Amino acid sequence: MNGTLRTLFFSPTHSSRKIALVLGESLTAALGKSQESRDLTFPLDREKSLDCGPDDVLVFAFPVYGGRVPQVLEAPLSRLRGNGATAVIAAVYGNRDYDDALLEAADLLTRRGFTVAAAGAFIAEHSVAPTVGAGRPDAEDTRVLTDFAKRAAAKIAAGNPAPVSVKGKRPYKERGPAADVRPKTTDACTQCMICVAGCPMGVISKDDPAVVAAGCIRCRACVKFCPEDAKFFDDPGTAKIREMLESKCLARREPELFL
Ligand SMILES: Cc1cc2nc3c(=O)[nH]c(=O)nc-3n(C[C@H](O)[C@H](O)[C@H](O)COP(=O)(O)O)c2cc1C
Ligand code: SF4
Ligand code: SF4
């Protein structure tokens, strides 16, 4: 079987990337294909189209936002063409719930001409409340991921894989109201530009990283990677969500696999 294993991910705070790469490497090793990766995190990369062929396998990993596929991925996913390729999907969520995100992703890829042969929901640190899902994915998650990849590879290698049925409801969970919330910056900022380079929306000013234009998706990359802890959100909505997560979502959840 020829074809390419294409790993595709969107990952502002790098957890979905980690999971995509483990899956991509395990599937490549098991299926003996060549490998390519495409990172959809930054604006220019999201503009490119991707055409697959019937012998290709796509690994697609994304963070769950509000129980859905992040809205920013709608346009880039509409530029994918499956042409009969097989897909393996990983929805990565912060130990609360993935709600309808896996079903939405499976529907999107099916509409784009892929057969979704395997899918899973995996847990990572919650980017809004890092004590929730802290340390995930951990060694046990990696073991589950590699085992999942082996089982998915066996299904794909057997030929004509049947599409999976995943958990979720239609119509999908409603997205929260769009709000113009942006991070603030303390005087500790040294203008190192790490947040400017890591912002998936390109909204942090190169001239003054304390200035953030409209269009922030609240991904928390700037908060997580600032070496001075200078970026923060102080809106009441964020405080409420963090409180809810820290009081109700600390119990460990386990990956759910659909094959
Ligand atoms: C705006 C936003 C919404 C989120 N919504 C959810 C959610 O509905 N359920 C959940 O369990 N985690 C949620 N999370 C947590 C992320 O899914 C989780 O932290 C994920 O690992 C982030 O992926 P990344 O590291 O690849 O950016 C949300 C995070 C953000 C920033
Ligand atoms: S990462 Fe932090 S210190 Fe660096 S420019 Fe951004 S806010 Fe300033
Ligand atoms: S400014 Fe908004 S979109 Fe940009 S990195 Fe920070 S939280 Fe993410």
Class of domain 4-171: alpha beta
pLDDT tens readout for residues 109-167: 999 999 999 999 999 999 999 999 999 999 999 999 999 999 999 999 999 999 999 99
Mutate to test the pocket of ligand 3, among 203, 206, 212 (most ligand atoms within 8 A of CB): 203
pLDDT tops 90 at residue 58? yes
User: Burial, 4: exposed, middle or buried (Cβ in 10 Å; 0-12, 13-18, 19+)?
Assistant: middle
Mean pLDDT of the chain: 97
Average pLDDT over residues 229-235: 97
Query: Would the pLDDT of 66 be above 70?
Result: yes
Pick the CATH number of 184-233 from 3.30.70.1520, 2.30.300.10, 3.30.70.20, 3.40.710.10: 3.30.70.20
What is the pLDDT, as a whole number, of residue 159?
A: 95
* pLDDT higher than 60, residue 1: no
List the residue whose alpha carbon is closest to atom 3 of ligand 3: 216
63 CA from centroid of ligand 1 (Å): 5
Domains in the chain: boundaries: 4-171, 184-233
- Predicted confidence (pLDDT) per residue in 181-215, tens digit: 999 999 999 999 999 999 999 999 999 999 999 99
Give the rounded percent of residues in the chain with a pLDDT score beyond 70.
100
47 Cβ neighbours under 8 A, 6+ residues apart: 76, 79
Residue of minimum CA distance from atom 21 in ligand 1: 124
The rounded Cα 92 to chain-centroid distance in angstroms is 6
Q: What is the pLDDT of residues 76-111, one digit of tens each?
A: 999 999 999 999 999 999 999 999 999 999 999 999
d(Cα 253, Cα 152) in Å, to the nearest integer? 22
| Strands of 57-63's sheet in order across | 34-39, 4-9, 57-63, 86-93, 115-123, 256-258
Cα distance between residue 66 and residue 238, in whole Å? 13
Question: What distance in angstroms lies between residue 143's CA and the mean position of ligand 3's atoms?
Answer: 32
**pLDDT band for position 178 (cuts 50, 70, 90):** confident
Q: Which two structure tokens, joined as six digits, stand for 209?
A: 């990283």
Flag whether pLDDT at 5 surpasses 80.
yes
pLDDT of 2: 83
| Among 69, 93, 199, residue to substitute to test ligand 1 (most atoms within 8 Å of Cβ) | 93
